Structure 1
Amino acid sequence: MKVQGKMFLWLALFILIMAIVYGLWSKEPAGTTALFLGFGLSVMIGYYLAFTARRVDQLAQDNKEADVADEAGEVGFFAPHSWQPLALGIGGALGFMGVIFGWWLLYFSAPLLLIGLWGWVFEFYHGANRTQ
């Protein structure tokens, strides 16, 4: 995590330089503000990663003598045949189109989003209080 912290702090320095150059050159306030906000966000992430790196064990990426296989292992469990992301994607697309074309589209997107989210959260729930 030390590597990521340093990368974000170097990125913050680059964004700060670009924000100053862009602000002086273009005299456009919206883009300059966005670049300064990007600088602040990058500093926050870099500081968090650098601060957290001192509190956790050393990872393989922090060791110069490490092999690629040192970080190998299980990443997590992913549902192989789930239709819920499709419902969430369609519901999200309709929701964003509702912002553009008209708020009435949210009446169609909200049920799709709720059904997709509910299905994805409880897809593998097999507890004692399971509803059928």
Structure 2
Amino acid sequence: MKVQGKMFLWLAVFILGMAILYGVWSKEPAGTTALFLAFGLSVMIGYYLAFTARRVDTGAQDRKDAEVADDAGELGFFSPHSWQPLSLAIGGAAAFLGVIFGWWLLYFSLPVILIGLFGWVFEYYRGEDQRY
């Protein structure tokens, strides 16, 4: 994680330089503000990764003599099947269509989004796939 932290901090330095250069040359406030916000986000992510790297064990990506196979292994649990993302996608699409065609469409899309979100969060707390 040290490598990723350093990469984001160097990216932040680059974005800061570009923001200053862009602001001086263009005198356009929206783009300059966006670049300064991107600088701030890069600093936050880089600081978090560098701060976390001090508290965790050294990973394979932090060693010079590491092989690609050293980082292999189980990455975590991924759900093999779930219908909840489809519900969220339909609700989200209807919500964005509500912005185009009328805000009344949000009354129909928000319950679909909430049902999909609730189902996805509590998917493994009930039924045959119960884990907890």
What range describes the TM-score normalised by the shorter chain of this pair? 0.7 to 0.9
TM-score (structure 2 length as normaliser): 0.88
What CA distance in whole angstroms lies between the structure 1 residues aligned with 2:53 and 2:72?
Answer: 20
Off by >6 Å, runs of 4+ in structure 1 = none
| CA root-mean-square deviation | 1.7
* Offset from partner CA, 1:17-76 (integer Å, 9 cap, x none): 111121112111011011001101111111121122112111110001111111111122
> Where does the alignment leave 5 or more consecutive residues of structure 2 unmatched?
none
The corresponding residue for 2:36 is: 36
Partner of 2:25: 25
**Identity, % of aligned positions:** 80
Q: 3-state SS of the aligned residue for 2:125? A: coil
Compared with structure 1, are the counterparts of its residues 108 and 120 closer, same or farther at alpha carbon in structure 2 (3 Å cutoff)?
Answer: same
For residue 85 of structure 1, report the CA deviation from its aligned partner: 0.4
Q: How far did residue 93 of structure 1 move? A: 1.7
Corresponding position of 1:70: 70
Aligned length: 128
Deviation at 1:107, TM superposition (A): 1.0
Match of residue 51 from structure 1: 51
**Are the structure 2 counterparts of residues 101 and 25 from structure 1 closer, same or farther at C-alpha, using a change threshold of 3 Å?**
farther
Length-normalised TM-score, structure 1: 0.88
Take 2:114 and 2:11, find their aligned partners in 1: how far apart are those partners?
Answer: 38
Q: Residue in 2 aligned with 1:82?
A: 82
Q: Which amino acid aligns with 1:93?
A: A
- Give the aligned partner of residue 110 of structure 1: 110
For 1:100 and 1:108, the matched residues in 2 are separated by 15
Query: What is the rounded CA distance, in whole Å, between the counterparts of 1:51 and 1:115 in structure 2?
Result: 37
